[in-house]
Structure formats: structure tokens, C-alpha cells
Amino acid sequence: MSDTNVRETVGEPTSVLASHEIEFFRTNGFLSLSRITTDEEVAWLGEVYERLFREQVGKEDGVQFDLGAVESGQEPVLPQLLRPSRYAPELRETVFVRNASVIAAQVLGADLDPDYFDHMIFKPALRGSVTPWHQDQAYHDPTVRHRSVNFWMPLDGATVDSGCLQFVPGSNRGSVLPHHHINNDPAVHGLEVDEPERYTEYAAACPLPPGGCSMHASYMLHYAGPNTSPRPRRAYILQFKGTSTPLDVPVDNYWITSPQRGR
Ligand code: NI
């Protein structure tokens, strides 16, 4: 897929969903918005983003690290930074945060937790590695049923070639599927769902312009290909949560507690 699939950002950013969009999100577990912030803010966010990675902010705290399998001395293939707004508090005062929080309240309801989680995932041009099929909940507390919505915004046009997100529509309505560490190596932080080939034929790709946004629900199976394009793919993600409910039977997340069982 070429860059011509990315629409221009035109019109006002989306600050509230129409009822048919809420319905689509509830049914399919994802939604694509052509615009959630302004071009000016995207340009400004790009500068903040570059600085945080250039200065390797958060590395000593263990919150900037590579999601891929990187040998020491190699260039990073999938660097990420957890909670960048702790290091750059100005990130909390954005149109992106304001619009996403209103939309999150629309889809999660009044029990929305105002303390959102933010996350930057950088997929470098030509060498950014694949983000395998996974559910975010495979990383999280297995004793509760989560309710959350992620807002995934690229600062560069995101295409299939550069690693836009892909989803399995409706997979959000299931539970946590068995996962394993990438390459079956517990030293690699990233997880992959078992037997991913079972899901790929159902994949729906969400190419986006800079400042556009895809939303996805808890438990959504998602994936992003390697970045084979000559452009970086810088993604900035906000996750909002509603109230979680305790599970009668916790998920057996052996891929974290005893990963050798999955081999
Ligand atoms: Ni994910």
C-alpha cells in the first residue's frame, strides 16, 4: 500500500463521536478518526517526541526501552517510552488529550478514570520491527476484567508499509488469549498471541494521516507491520480506563508467570 492511501487532514478535529460511530466502536471494537488534533499540535508534538528519544529520557527509570529483540550495540528497532507526560508535563495540555478524554467518556461512561496512561512507540524508517499480533491485556492484571480505550495517533502518515495498526474486528468481545514472548525469549518484553496465523485473514488495517487516530477497545487483537517505508512512524498513544470488575477465575497468564510452559 502506498502513501496515496493516506488522506489529507482537513476540517476540524473530532471532539465528539456521532451515535453511529459509537455503535460501530461497540460492535467492532475499533474506530478510525481522520483527525483528532491540529496540524500545529502535531508539529509541536513531533519536537517533544524527538527530544524525549534523543535524550533517552526515562531510560534510567526503566520506562524507555526497546520492545523488539535488540543485540547490544545494535540500533533500536522499536523503542518506546512509557508515560512520557511525567517527563514532559506540557503533554497533558493538548487538544489530543482534551478530545480523547471527551470521546473516552462517551464510550466508557461516567466512571472514566481521569488518570490516563500515555505511551510513545517509535518505529524507525526502514528498520522498525514488526509489532506482532497481541492483546494489551495479556500484559496486565489477570484478576480483573478491564475496560479501556486506546487512542493511537501517528505524527507521520501511517500506512500498512510504515506500520499502521491492524485489528481483528470483534475480537474485543472475547477474553485474553494465550500469548508467548516474541521468539519465545522471556528476555524480550514484547508478547505475541499463540497461532497468529489464525487471525490474519480477518485483519482490518487503519492507515491514517498525521494527527488522525485509531481507537481500540480492551482485548482487541492488534498488530503493526515492520516499517519498510523511508519515513519514521512515530505513534503517540493515550489509554483511558473505566472501572475494572474482579474476575471469578483469574486469567492464567503463564506467559508472564512461567513462560517456559508456552514453548
Ligand atoms: Ni498493543
Query: By percentage, how much of the chain surpasses pLDDT 90?
Result: 76
- Ligand 1 mean position to 16 CA, how many Å? 24
Q: What is the pLDDT of residues 162-209, one digit of tens each?
A: 999 999 999 999 999 999 998 898 888 889 999 999 999 999 999 999
Residue 261 has pLDDT above 90, yes or no: no
C-alpha 111, offset from chain centre = 22
CA atoms within 13 A on the CB side of 80: 18
Global confidence as pTM: 0.90
Mean pLDDT, the chain, rounded, equals 91
- Ligand 1 mean position to 186 CA, how many Å? 18
CA 30 – CA 76 distance, rounded (Å): 29
Q: What is the pLDDT of residues 28-51, one digit of tens each?
A: 999 999 999 999 999 999 999 999
Nearest to 138 by CA among 259, 253, 244, 258: 253
Predicted pLDDT of residue 69 = 57
CA 200 – CA 122 distance, rounded (Å): 23
CA 5 – CA 82 distance, rounded (Å): 30
Task: Give the CA distances from residue 180 to residues 52, 56, 74, 141, 155, in Å, rounded to whole numbers and listed in that order.
Answer: 30, 28, 24, 16, 30
Predicted pLDDT of residue 70 = 60
- Ligand 1 mean position to 139 CA, how many Å? 9
- Ligand 1 mean position to 213 CA, how many Å? 15
- Ligand 1 mean position to 223 CA, how many Å? 7
- Ligand 1 mean position to 165 CA, how many Å? 9
Which three three-digit cell numbers place residue 52?
524525549
Query: By percentage, how much of the chain surpasses pLDDT 70?
Result: 93
- Ligand 1 mean position to 141 CA, how many Å? 15
CA 236 – CA 246 distance, rounded (Å): 30
Q: What is the pLDDT of residues 92-123, one digit of tens each?
A: 999 999 999 999 999 999 889 989 999 999 99
Average pLDDT over residues 7-27: 85
Which three three-digit cell numbers place residue 259?
513462560
pLDDT bin (cut points 50, 70, 90) of residue 3 is: very low
- Ligand 1 mean position to 136 CA, how many Å? 5
Which contiguous run of DSSP H or E holds residue 240?
strand 233-241
- Ligand 1 mean position to 135 CA, how many Å? 6
Predicted pLDDT of residue 1 = 41
